Amino acid sequence: MKKIDDKKLDKIVGGDTISGTIINAFVNAIETIQDAGHLLGSAIRRIVEGNLCPLE
């Protein structure tokens, strides 16, 4: 492997692509928001229908 000197290292440009980690984090955020919506909708439906578990 060839060593690169400091002048050539300063000229290297990169890192502006979308990585798998960023896509994964975005998908996880969307899934979390979707799950929260399902839970909220279910809670509202149960309150409206009167299907709440009694707190003893």
CB-based contact 46:52 (threshold 8 Å): yes
- Using one digit for the tens of pLDDT, what is the confidence trace for 13-37? 876 777 888 899 999 999 999 999 9
Tokens coding 24: 């994964």
Q: Which of 9-18, 29-38, 41-50 has the lowest mean pLDDT?
A: 9-18
**d(C-alpha 28, C-alpha 3), whole Å:** 40
| Verdict on whether the full-model pTM lies above 0.95 | no
Element (H, E) at 23: helix 20-49
CB-based contact 17:23 (threshold 8 Å): no
